Chain A
Amino acid sequence: MREILKNALVITLVTGLCLSFVGITAAEEPIFDYIVVSPEEPTRESEVSFSVDVTGDYIEEVYIKVQECVDPGTPDYFCHQGLLNVSLSNVSGNWEGTGTLQYDDSDEGHCWLVIKSDGTWYDYKNDNSTWTDFIIAEGDDGSDGADGGDSTDDTGGTPGFELILVLISIVVALSIYKRKR
C-alpha cells in the first residue's frame, strides 16, 4: 500500500513539474492582437502609424516589417525587396510606432510582427493572424511622386558621370589658363 502511495506521489510530482515547465514555455510565446494601421489608406511616401496589443511577461522588442507592393491583382504584380522596419514602443500596454513609406509607386502594403521575447526572436511573416494588408493611395494631388525618388536614384546610379564633369572642368580650366598666358 505504501509502495503504491509512494509511486503515485512520484508520478504526481513528475507530472506537475512537466506541466509547470510547459506552462512556463507557453508563457514565453507572445500573445498579440491584430495590427492597426493609421491612416487606413496612407498615401505613397507618407508617414504611417502602427499599433498593436502585445502581451507577454518577457517582451523586449517589437517591430513591424512593411513590404510595399505594386500592381496587385495584375500580371505586373511585384513587391519592393527593401522592407520598412518600424520599431514600436510600449505605451501603457499598447505597442506603437511610426514609419515613412519608402516608395513612390506602391499600391499595397503588407505588414507583420517581429517580437523579441525572453531573448528569442519571433518572426510572424507567415502567420495569418499577424499578416495585415493595407491599400496605399497615390496621393491627393494625383502625382505619383516619381520626380523626387527618381532624381535621387539617377544621381547615385550613374557611375562615371561625375568624372565627365571633372574632365570638362579641367579642360575649361586649361583653356582659360592658356588664354590668360
Chain B
Amino acid sequence: MEVKNIKSLKTLTSIVLLLLLLSLLSGCIELSTDDNNVNDSDGGEDFTFTVINGTVKRLSDYLGRIVIMDMWAISCEPCQYQMLELEKVYENYSRGDLEIISINVAIYETSQQIIDFIEVFKEFGYELSWVFGNDDGSIWEEYQMPRGGIPTIYIFDKNGNIYYSEESYHPYSTLVEKIDELLE
C-alpha cells in the first residue's frame, strides 16, 4: 500500500513538473514569435511599419536621433490638432536631432486617405513633411496606452529607449520641454 502511494505521488509530481515545463516553454515560444516589436539587446525599442509610399521602415533606422512617434487616425479630431503642434516642432529642430513618425493606427484607413489628409493641410498652409506610416495592428497592440486613446505620443531617445509616453493631445510647449531635456 505504502509503495503504491509513493508511486502515485511520484507520478503526480512528474505530471506537475511536466505541466510547469510546458507552460514555461509556451511562454518562450510566444516571445520568439513576436519579432515585430522587440527590445534590442541594448534595451532600445524596435518595430517595423509601412511608410505611405510603400517602403518598410524600422524605428532602429532612426537611431542617433530623438524620435517622436505619434499614433493617430484621420477620424480623430484631437489628432488633427496634434498635427499643427508637431509641424511647429518639426520646423524648429534639425533633422540630425529629431525625427517624427506619425503612425496611423486605424487599420481601416488607407495610405491614399492619409495622402489626401496631408494634402488638405497643405491647402491651408501646413506642411506635414515628416514620416507617415501605417500600422498593421502590431504597433498599436504593443504601444497602446491603458485607456486606448489617440493621439498617443511616444518620445524615444537617441538609443531607441522610451523616454516619455502619454495618450492625449500634446501642445508644442510640452513636446519641446521633453525634447530639450533629452538634448541637454
**Interface residues of A, Cβ cutoff 8 Å to B:** 65, 67, 69-72, 75-83, 105, 110, 112, 123, 125-126, 163, 167, 170, 174, 177-178, 181
Contacts and interface: CB of A to CB of B under 8 A. Distances in A.
Interface of B: 5, 9, 12-13, 16, 19-20, 23, 73-79, 81, 105-106, 113, 116-117, 120, 140, 144, 147-152, 167-171, 174
Contact of B76 (A79, A170, A178): A79
Nearest to B9: A177
B169 A78 contact: yes
A114 to B, nearest CB: 10
B167 A126 contact: no
A104 B58 CA distance: 35
A178 B8 CA distance: 11
Given A110-B77, A125-B75, A163-B23, A80 B16 contact: no
Given A126-B120, A170-B16, A81 B105 contact: yes
Contacts of B9: 177-178, 181
Nearest to B140: A81
Contacts of A71: 168
A77 to B, nearest CB: 4
Contact of B150 (A75, A81, A125): A81
Contacts of A177: 9, 12
Nearest to A181: B5
B74 A80 contact: no
A161 B56 CA distance: 36
Nearest to B78: A77
B167 A65 contact: no
A81 B152 CA distance: 10
Contacts of A83: 75, 106
Given A69-B78, A163-B23, A81 B12 contact: no
Given A75-B171, A105-B147, A174-B16, A81 B77 contact: no
